[in-house]
Amino acid sequence: MLPMEAFSFYKEGFEFAYRIQTIVYKPDFEEKQEMKQVIFVGFKRRCLLDLGKILLLPYYVVKTILCIAASPFVMFYDLFDSTGSLDKRWALYLLILSILPIVASWYLWDDYQAKTDEIFSVVSTYAKMSNTKYRVKDVPYKELINLYAFQHDLDPAFIAAVIEEESGFNPEAVSPAGARGLMQITPRTWRYIVEHSTCDGEHLPPACGPDCIFDPEANIRAGTDYLGRLLKDFNGNTVTVLAAYNAGRGNIQKYGIKKRGLVPNFPETQSYIRDVLAIWIKTREPFPPMEISGLKNYYDLNKKLYTTSFMLWSLLGMWIFLKAQKKTIHTFKFYA
């Protein structure tokens, strides 16, 4: 074949191929209807599948909730199961359950702090404004409480509330921190208040004499003296005085509470103040209406949430540790 003829042959071939590729298929009416039917059936099937997923959503939600709730029992049982055929998704369920109490406690704690600050503020303002003091009648050592409370310009009901919370009116009480007597005075504070006492406050009960830290009269006299000094130092703020009595004057000044008139963020101290105020409100009438017991419920629930979360995290950590040691964590399919 000559070059020109070959060129003409290939040119015609390329043109033919191009015409074939550029042909546009135009279906007739019946084919168009069939295509529409196929598209409609596919769309309908997709809608039914989506609707089925929506209808089954409550089932999957309930199933997930039940799995999360049952995860501690399943994981605890698997600790003693030698087969080790538990799906690792149960660990995820337990992890979610361990986080939930922490989230709930954070939410409750903010509300608890707001209510606590509000009540503490009301009590402090009321204690400053009220100059009326009432004698206590139905408590142990009422004569001594009334006598020394009035001597130091304190409310006897307030002193009775402190004694009830500190020692439960047990004159020989000794705390783990070393505080002693009815008002739980530390030996260091005792020597600071009662400088000329022959008792150094370091011994255990019973009382060694009339000026001993375990003697009811000497203890109440020293305790009311100390509270009176704190009340002057903190400008009559009863709440801050209780915080200093429980946590120590140094902690109050260290955290700048003296200037702000607030309470240290110590759970034990806040619980102590709340309990003393509740007893004071119950003992002293009249008093502004306020819900102290609600704070106790908040605090107790918060403690339970943290305890529950700690136990769940411990269970999860123990399961991971034991399974890692045995190397028996398998992926067993968990079917709905």
Phi and psi, residue 242, nearest 5°:
-65, -40
| Helix, strand, coil percentages, rounded to 5, for the chain | 70, 0, 30
DSSP class of residue 180 equals B
The tokens of 71 are what? 């995860």
The tokens of 218 are what? 């000497």
Helix (H) or strand (E) holding 149: helix 142-151
Residues near 306 by Cβ (< 8 Å), separated by ≥ 6?
A: 101, 102, 105
Distance CA 244, CA 91 (A): 46
Nearest Cα residue to 109 out of 239, 284, 298 = 298
Contact (CB, 8 A) for 109 and 302: yes
Distance CA 264, CA 36 (A): 74
- Give the residues across from 174 on adjacent strands: 180
Catalytic residue, from 5, 12, 118, 166: name it: 166
- Per the annotation, the verdict on 166 as an active-site residue is yes
Contact (CB, 8 A) for 269 and 247: yes
Residues near 174 by Cβ (< 8 Å), separated by ≥ 6?
A: 180, 204, 205
Task: State the catalytic residues.
Answer: 166
